[in-house]
Amino acid sequence: MLKYPIISLLLHLSLLYNIGNWQLVKFYDENEQKDKECWKMQELFYYQDVMMKEFDATIQSQQIDVDGRKYIVLDNTAFYPTGGGQPHDTGMLNNVKVIDVERIDDEIRHYVDELLPEGTKKVHGVLDWKRRFDHMQQHAGQHILTAAFVEILNYPTVSFHLGTETVTIDIDVPNLSDQELAFVEKRANEIILENRPMKTKWVTQDELANYTLRKAVAVTGEIRLVIIPDYDYNGCGGTHPTSTGQVQAIKIIATEKQKKKTRVHFVCGSRVLQELHWRKKELSETARLVNAPEEEAARAVTKLLQTQKSLEKSLADAHARILSFEAKELLHLASNHLIHKIFTSRSVQELQQLARAIVAADEKSTVLFVSEQTDRVQFVAAKGQSAPTDSMKRITNTILPIIKGKGGGSDSFVQGGGEPTISAEELLEEMIRILM
């Protein structure tokens, strides 16, 4: 009787043993796969040597994706794929152009304008080094500037964008003063001038506790740190120079509000010189136009703007006087306080001013204006406080559907415009008919 429970127990133990072994094997397999992936990442040329400009590799496949884009997969590459806020590299594989690089399904795809001839096994890659090094300067500059904002003001960066002309970071603060920006920029350039090393290191999740990271990392497994010793420790998968001195310089050029944050625009390295050359060119041209030395250009422009503002006011006053005379003339020619007229190519804003001048001068008046444009017709209708006519809204309610237009207003003043489905004369006659 006892042998069956014993057999059953042995079977259960055997099953548990096998399951345990399977789970253990699965655990080691999964971790071994992760280790292989991390090891493969570390072996990539663009991580092994960020200064590598050329390389040789073996083609693993040439494909066309679902969007019809041609791409080549290599056994290794120095081409950096888009990621971590840094744009992709470009360059050449043998004699074909690399126009985009992406990491998809654990492979790095080099998108090319043409595939290489069938049977090609080996390739020689050449990076567009000007583009790559520019990205390295801007990305490293972002690390330095972001760290300076934290060090000087304790303001964290919440986002980063590396554009074709400028770099932006969004600082988690609603306002930044000029003085704060100057302090941060000065500190960032001090770090550059000190020519500190920029190191990278792969660490595990457990090893992260040994580093004071500026920002928590979201990735799991092996993590790549970019380190400026005794200054900044940050998880990052981008490419950077080997020292801060290679960034050359950082210049903040503008800020803008982004809801409760402040977006800081800046440039680094060779872009600082480009920005300086552009601004010098603009300053020289401005100085030439205002006929003043460059150091006096701002004062000369200010004087011109003040003169322009004064002239615009004088012009507006003169225009108002002309409209006043025109209003009196139209009132003089009016019959029974009804003023109606068709104008050619006159703005609706000017007709509004004229209509208001008339009803202000004669509270019993009713004004009906039509402006005839090349491909549009507009109208204005107004009445004084003591005018016997009904609401001007009757005009818009009837006229707008006829001319397929838009408009609106109040009981005493309306305006609108639309397509010339009827002539200006017919439109004015219809407006008179509606009120009479």
Domain of residue 336, CATH code: 3.10.310.40
Residue 390 sits in the same domain as residue 426 = yes
Residue 83 sits in the same domain as residue 170 = no
Residue 141 sits in the same domain as residue 213 = yes
Residue 210 sits in the same domain as residue 256 = yes
DSSP state of 386: T
301 within domain boundaries: no
Residue 177 sits in the same domain as residue 263 = yes
335 within domain boundaries: yes
Residue 39 sits in the same domain as residue 95 = no
Instruction: Give the residue from 86, 111, 127 where a domain finishes.
Output: 127
Residue 77 sits in the same domain as residue 192 = no
Q: Which run of H or of E encompasses 183?
A: helix 178-193
> Count of CB atoms within 10 A of residue 7's CB?
10
CATH number assigned to the domain comprising residue 120: 2.40.30.130
155 within domain boundaries: yes
CATH number assigned to the domain comprising residue 275: 3.30.980.10
221 within domain boundaries: yes
Here the tokens at position 24 are 């253990």
249 vs 193: CA distance, rounded Å: 8
Residue 277 sits in the same domain as residue 142 = yes
Query: Could you give the 3-state DSSP secondary structure of residue 74?
Result: strand
Split the chain (436 residues) into runs of 10 and give each run's mean pLDDT.
46 46 38 47 92 97 95 97 93 97 94 95 97 97 97 94 96 96 98 96 86 77 89 92 97 94 97 94 93 90 93 90 89 88 89 92 93 92 90 93 94 94 93 89
Residue 226 sits in the same domain as residue 351 = no
**DSSP track, 344-383:** ES--HHHHHHHHHHHHHH-TT-EEEEEEE-SS-EEEEEEE
Q: Which run of H or of E encompasses 368?
A: strand 366-372
- Count of the separate structural domains present in the chain: 4
Instruction: Give the residue from 270, 286, 302 where a domain finishes.
Output: 286
Residue span of the structural domain in which 165 resides:
133-286
- What pLDDT shows up at residue 8? 52
Do residues 204 and 217 lie in contact, with contact meaning Cβ atoms separated by under 8 Å? no
Residue 179 sits in the same domain as residue 269 = yes
424 within domain boundaries: yes
Residue 160 sits in the same domain as residue 258 = yes
> Count of CB atoms within 10 A of residue 279's CB?
11
432: β partners:
none
- What pLDDT shows up at residue 427? 93
Here the tokens at position 302 are 């200010």
65 vs 282: CA distance, rounded Å: 46
Do residues 370 and 415 lie in contact, with contact meaning Cβ atoms separated by under 8 Å? no
149 within domain boundaries: yes
28 within domain boundaries: yes
- What pLDDT shows up at residue 216? 76
230 within domain boundaries: yes
**Whole-model pTM over 0.85:** no
Residue 120 sits in the same domain as residue 171 = no
